[in-house]
Chain A
Amino acid sequence: MSETGMRLLVVDDEPIVGKRLKQVFGKVGFEVESYTDSAAALAAMVEKPFDIVVTDLKMQGIDGIEVLKRVRAMNPETRVIIITGYASPDTAELAEHEGVFAFLAKPFRLDELKEVIYRAMEPNRTKA
């Protein structure tokens, strides 16, 4: 499945996450940008919107929930996926409330993330 043109933003304070996702999704044709600084990531989003945002939860400065909120406000079309090593029912619920598309606990299989992202690309607006 070739996905030329789909823009993917990755926000995580650990560089390995961005690198890995760039490698994996770059291979299947996504245009991937990654940031370890959430403020910089949001600035990039303002400049040219992304189709999908994958963000960590716990970060310095602007955290994942805040990123989620701002992205949804800026661009409701964009699907936001939260990935985190600190998953808890409360944060999951909060994220749901703010309109997160999916919530994945780290470590996860890249296949799982791929599946979620492919779902996120479907033009159908209702979440799975």
Chain B
Amino acid sequence: MALRDLLKGFSAQRWFTPKPCRPLPLIFSLFREVLKANNQALELIADIGEKLSGEYLFDLRYVEATVEEMIAAMRRAIAAINTLTQDRCATLHEIFAPMEARVRAILTGRDDREGPPLLWLAEVEPRHWPLVGGKAAHLSELLHNHRVQVPEGFVITSRFFHDLLDHNGLRPEFDLFEQRLTEQEVNEDELERLRLSLQKKVREAAPPAGFLEALTGLIARFATVGLPPLFLAIRSSAQEEDMDFSFAGQFHSVLQVHPGAEAVYRAYLEVAASLFGAKAIGYRRQVFPEGGPMSIAACCQRMIPAAASGIIYSLDPMAPGSRNMVAVGALGQGQAVVEGQVPTDFFRISRGEPLKIVERVLAAKHEALRPKGGDGGGLAMQKVPEGQAETPCLDEPNLLALAAIAIHLETFFKRPQDIEWTVDQQGKLYILQSRPLLITESAREKPLLSEQLEGYELVASDAGRVAQQGIGAGPAYWVETLADLKEFPEGAVLISHRDSSQFVQVMHRAAAIVTEVGSPTSHMATLCRELRVPCLVGVSGIMAKVANGEEITVDAEDRRIYRGRVVELLTYQATTSMDLHMAPEFRLLRRILREVSRLNLVDPLMQEFRPEGCKTFHDVLRYIHETAVLALVELGRDESCLPGGLARRLDLPIQAGILAIDIGGGMAPDAPRDLVPFAAIRSIPFKAILQGMLFPGAWHQEAMPVSFRDMMHSMMTTPQDTLSGQYTGHNIAIISENYVNLCFRFGYHFNIIDAFCHEVERDNHIYFRFLGGATDLAKRSRRATLIATILEAFDFSVKTRGDLVIARTGNLARSEMERTLDILGRLIGFTRQLDVQMTDDRVVARYAEAFLMGDYGVFAEKR
């Protein structure tokens, strides 16, 4: 049911083959069933998110139980929507089955086996992260970041690693080895024997059929025009690497590899075999003992022929409280720096505004690691010409540019970063790796934080609720309208009255977010958790306490906000933020949440809004909700299915000619059978619309010329009018206490407003459809543009085509719903009066502005 089908179907008589009519109350109650099942699933997803915010303690049992409940709720929701739509959503079963399988795979630790064996780096999506390993996951994120240059490449995934094991009959040995690793009593000899055997066998493993061809295909994708000859760097990207554990230097990398499938495959085998290297196994046993079986992926990227390379830390690990960064560099390839093979230049840069180099210690760089040259590949140490050894490896502009990138990446990843950089012969800066910076703290002397914090001024304590744990500091930046987001500075703290999922646009640049209203289960909160932005919501009055631009520190763990930059807290954050994420349960739950909650189908009016566009549980739930709404929207269109006897005329001060059908609680019990007055209407959304229609001047002007009024009047009260193209039929409102479906026809206009409004924000929606007729296409398009302009000003998502306007909004609190519906009521009246005087485009803007200013009398001037 893509948008184009909607548009086609709207003009046609029906958009689905007619089935026998079902009673309205039944359809409505089926709708409520869908909402209920949907909500159960959504609440479970929100619950997981909340548990991950860091405020909670949970265990594995919770994870398992919640996953089961969530799957059951999803199944109920899919069943409910199919009952409502009489099985038109049957494809959802097939769409959901692989999603369920993936979540179960995560639970059983098999999620690194589901997916493609090869992936182009730029095409890696979050759901691939378990397959591509930490390093590649970070790099793929960086690839989409416009501030940094990352060499292109592809990933040989952990799926391939498992295929390789299976193809070469190594699975039993591998399983045995992993089992032995985790046993309490370890037989060191046996372990060593198994380790060496696996290492050797992987090095000699044969590729599964078709792999080398596939590899050749990927290698062909590298750009070659105008570039130096292609060589590849094959680097490890293990599951845990760079996500939570550095595994720095524990695995093998092979550089300057000839770009042929055979050479790349051999290099890959070296990397894969290093999973069983003594270093890596030793590291695992020491640092990561309860981790479970590990697999490995390999990142294959273009080698950048380096003029210079090095490392930069966005924070000085020796003095995390200072506001300095440190960088080192040497001439040639970075491997030499990383392996400590050459003396390096040292720079200290202060993080103030502007960045300043505060210390420079240059080394005598007599050697540089460079490509050997020729087709064979490989690197070798070469002598550096006399003059160059003393000059800095990076000139000042490049060094400052690098420093700015380091700060940006720290904000982007929400942690201090350990970054590998390289500069090519043309002076272009590349980022090869960016991972969390490890800052150790001395074990026994944990300073009593609380004492040190006494020196700082508390702006707020017991502040609101935690949406995402963490500590962030920066200048406060007020966001009052969405337009403010465009100017959001790097590293600022976003302060706003209400929360909005639109903040996602700046979350990568934000140090923290604080809102005056909002809940830890809102869309924005979910996004904060995904992107790990420290966030406090419901901190009422914060905007009065903090000036725009003022530096503040947000402790979204203890729910406090301090004036100024609390260095001690930031240091604490840098030293401890690793711990939580190490816990397997935490990582597990986070992987599950990512798999389940990432929203791809955002705008229901978009083309991609189809079952096939659903990638996650959340997408499916969104799709189900929209489908349910659409099922209701069509209710009022087909009069043959409406119970004629139940339609009651309304008695309003305006001649609107509306018949109302109450399906439950829409009218007062003692309302008269016919000519129901406004006062007897109990339907919350319908009442709001009527209020708008009744607003003085919205429906008609007192001073309108009689003939015009008569003309409108006659259009209203002669539904059997036979003017061609006019819509026949009554104006029907199907109402209940929380619902309205209003089909409003007059003259050549056809409006549908469908709204559901009650206490649970998530359930609330407004659907607005307008189709105008008569007059020429140009005028009709202008009218549509006018309506679209007005609706967008009220936060509707709007699509127009010709004279058809479809608009949608939802997830609003009840009071906002009522306000918006009131506006729609006024809009109906206003568009009635539009007459057909949309003579040119400037008129559109003028009338839109008039409406938005509340000047409904704008037409009086024309007369």
Contacts of B586 in A (CB 8 A): 16
Q: Which of B51-59, B124-132, B169-177, B809-817 contacts A (4 or more CB under 8 A)?
A: B51-59
Which residue from A2, A20, A28 sits with its C-beta under 8 Å from B57? A20
Contacts of A21 in B (CB 8 A): 57
The docked-state distance in angstroms from the alpha carbon of A16 to that of B586 is: 8
Give the shortest distance, in Å, between B113 (CB) and chain A (any CB).
25
Contacts of B51 in A (CB 8 A): 107
Question: Are the C-beta atoms of A17 and B449 separated by less than 8 Å?
Answer: no
A4 within 8 A of B: yes
The A-contacting residues of B in range 426-456, CB under 8 angstroms, are 446, 448-451
Contacts of A86 in B (CB 8 A): 61
Question: Are the C-beta atoms of B585 and A14 separated by less than 8 Å?
Answer: yes
Which residue from B55, B450, B576, B585 sits with its C-beta under 8 Å from A28? B450
Question: Are the C-beta atoms of B579 and A19 separated by less than 8 Å?
Answer: yes
Question: Are the C-beta atoms of A110 and B55 separated by less than 8 Å?
Answer: yes
A47 within 8 A of B: no
Give the shortest distance, in Å, between B446 (CB) and chain A (any CB).
6
The docked-state distance in angstroms from the alpha carbon of A21 to that of B57 is: 9
A76 within 8 A of B: no
- Number of A residues with CB within 8 Å of any CB on chain B: 26
The docked-state distance in angstroms from the alpha carbon of A1 to that of B446 is: 16
B489 within 8 A of A: no
The docked-state distance in angstroms from the alpha carbon of A2 to that of B447 is: 11
B62 within 8 A of A: yes
The docked-state distance in angstroms from the alpha carbon of A28 to that of B583 is: 21
Question: Are the C-beta atoms of B62 and A107 separated by less than 8 Å?
Answer: yes
Contacts of B450 in A (CB 8 A): 1-2, 28-29
Question: Are the C-beta atoms of B583 and A19 separated by less than 8 Å?
Answer: yes
Which residue from B57, B290, B576 sits with its C-beta under 8 Å from A108? B57
B343 within 8 A of A: no
Give the shortest distance, in Å, between B195 (CB) and chain A (any CB).
25
Question: Are the C-beta atoms of B57 and A111 separated by less than 8 Å?
Answer: no
Give the shortest distance, in Å, between B406 (CB) and chain A (any CB).
27
Contacts of A110 in B (CB 8 A): 55-57
Give the shortest distance, in Å, between B408 (CB) and chain A (any CB).
29
Known: A23-B580, A107-B51. A16 touches B446 (CB 8 A): no
The docked-state distance in angstroms from the alpha carbon of A109 to that of B47 is: 12
Give the shortest distance, in Å, between A34 (CB) and chain B (any CB).
12
Contacts of A19 in B (CB 8 A): 579-580, 582-583
B101 within 8 A of A: no
Which residue from A12, A20, A106 sits with its C-beta under 8 Å from B583? A20
Contacts of A49 in B (CB 8 A): none
The docked-state distance in angstroms from the alpha carbon of A106 to that of B55 is: 12
Contacts of A92 in B (CB 8 A): none
> Which of B56, B57, B585 has the most chain A CB atoms closer than 10 A to its own CB?
B57
Which residue from B56, B448, B580, B585 sits with its C-beta under 8 Å from A2? B448
The docked-state distance in angstroms from the alpha carbon of A109 to that of B56 is: 4
Question: Are the C-beta atoms of B57 and A85 separated by less than 8 Å?
Answer: no
Question: Are the C-beta atoms of B62 and A27 separated by less than 8 Å?
Answer: no
The docked-state distance in angstroms from the alpha carbon of A105 to that of B584 is: 21
Known: A14-B60, A107-B58. A23 touches B579 (CB 8 A): yes
Give the shortest distance, in Å, between A109 (CB) and chain B (any CB).
5
Question: Are the C-beta atoms of B59 and A106 separated by less than 8 Å?
Answer: yes
A42 within 8 A of B: no
Contacts of A4 in B (CB 8 A): 448
Main secondary structure of the interface of B (DSSP, over half): helix
The A-contacting residues of B in range 544-598, CB under 8 angstroms, are 572, 576, 579-580, 582-586
Contacts of B56 in A (CB 8 A): 107-110
One digit per residue, 1 when the CB lies within 8 angstroms of any chain B CB and 0 when it does not, for chain A 1-42 equals 110100000001011110111010011110000000000000
Contacts of B448 in A (CB 8 A): 2, 4, 29
Contacts of A44 in B (CB 8 A): none
Which residue from A14, A26, A83, A107 sits with its C-beta under 8 Å from B446? A26
Q: Which residue of B lies closest to A1 (CB)?
A: B450
Give the shortest distance, in Å, between B121 (CB) and chain A (any CB).
33
A113 within 8 A of B: yes
Known: A16-B586, A17-B57, A20-B580. A106 touches B446 (CB 8 A): no
Q: Which residue of A lies closest to B56 (CB)?
A: A107
Give the shortest distance, in Å, between A39 (CB) and chain B (any CB).
14
The docked-state distance in angstroms from the alpha carbon of A19 to that of B578 is: 12
Question: Are the C-beta atoms of B576 and A23 separated by less than 8 Å?
Answer: yes
Question: Are the C-beta atoms of A15 and B62 separated by less than 8 Å?
Answer: no
The A-contacting residues of B in range 46-85, CB under 8 angstroms, are 51, 55-62
Contacts of B572 in A (CB 8 A): 27
Question: Are the C-beta atoms of B449 and A113 separated by less than 8 Å?
Answer: no
The A-contacting residues of B in range 449-472, CB under 8 angstroms, are 449-451
Question: Are the C-beta atoms of A113 and B57 separated by less than 8 Å?
Answer: yes
> Which of A17, A20, A21, A85 has the most chain B CB atoms closer than 10 A to its own CB?
A20
Contacts of A2 in B (CB 8 A): 448, 450-451
Known: A2-B451, A4-B448, A28-B450. A15 touches B55 (CB 8 A): no
Known: A2-B450, A2-B451. A106 touches B579 (CB 8 A): no
Question: Are the C-beta atoms of A16 and B585 separated by less than 8 Å?
Answer: yes
Question: Are the C-beta atoms of B62 and A85 separated by less than 8 Å?
Answer: yes
Question: Are the C-beta atoms of B576 and A106 separated by less than 8 Å?
Answer: no
Question: Are the C-beta atoms of B62 and A106 separated by less than 8 Å?
Answer: yes
Contacts of B61 in A (CB 8 A): 85-86, 106
The docked-state distance in angstroms from the alpha carbon of A12 to that of B583 is: 14
Q: Which residue of A lies closest to B582 (CB)?
A: A19
Q: Which residue of B lies closest to A111 (CB)?
A: B55
Q: Which residue of B lies closest to A85 (CB)?
A: B61
The docked-state distance in angstroms from the alpha carbon of A15 to that of B585 is: 9
One digit per residue, 1 when the CB lies within 8 angstroms of any chain B CB and 0 when it does not, for chain A 87-128 equals 000000000000000000011111101000000000000000
Question: Are the C-beta atoms of A15 and B583 separated by less than 8 Å?
Answer: yes
Question: Are the C-beta atoms of A15 and B451 separated by less than 8 Å?
Answer: no
The docked-state distance in angstroms from the alpha carbon of A23 to that of B582 is: 12
Give the shortest distance, in Å, between A29 (CB) and chain B (any CB).
5
> Which of B55, B59, B582 has the most chain A CB atoms closer than 10 A to its own CB?
B59
Which residue from B58, B451, B582, B584 sits with its C-beta under 8 Å from A106? B58
Question: Are the C-beta atoms of A106 and B57 separated by less than 8 Å?
Answer: yes
Give the shortest distance, in Å, between A8 (CB) and chain B (any CB).
14
Contacts of A111 in B (CB 8 A): 55
Contacts of B583 in A (CB 8 A): 15-16, 19-20
Question: Are the C-beta atoms of B59 and A14 separated by less than 8 Å?
Answer: yes
Contacts of A26 in B (CB 8 A): 446
Question: Are the C-beta atoms of A85 and B449 separated by less than 8 Å?
Answer: no
The docked-state distance in angstroms from the alpha carbon of A16 to that of B583 is: 6
One digit per residue, 1 when the CB lies within 8 angstroms of any chain B CB and 0 when it does not, for chain A 64-94 equals 0000000000000000000101100000000
Give the shortest distance, in Å, between A5 (CB) and chain B (any CB).
11
Q: Which residue of B lies closest to A16 (CB)?
A: B583
The docked-state distance in angstroms from the alpha carbon of A21 to that of B579 is: 11
Give the shortest distance, in Å, between B3 (CB) and chain A (any CB).
41
The docked-state distance in angstroms from the alpha carbon of A107 to that of B49 is: 13
Q: 19 additional contacts, CB 8 Å, given A16-B59, A20-B580? A: A2-B451, A12-B59, A14-B585, A15-B290, A16-B57, A16-B583, A16-B584, A19-B582, A19-B583, A23-B576, A27-B576, A85-B59, A85-B61, A85-B62, A106-B62, A107-B57, A107-B58, A109-B56, A113-B57
Per CB-CB distance, the 10 closest pairs between chain A and chain B, nearest first, are A107-B58, A16-B583, A85-B61, A14-B59, A107-B56, A16-B585, A2-B450, A107-B62, A29-B448, A109-B55
| Listed A/B pairs (7) with beta-carbon separation below 8 Å | A4-B448, A19-B579, A23-B579, A27-B572, A107-B56, A108-B56, A110-B56
A residues engaging B (CB < 8 A)? 1-2, 4, 12, 14-17, 19-21, 23, 26-29, 83, 85-86, 106-111, 113
B residues engaging A (CB < 8 A)? 51, 55-62, 290, 446, 448-451, 572, 576, 579-580, 582-586
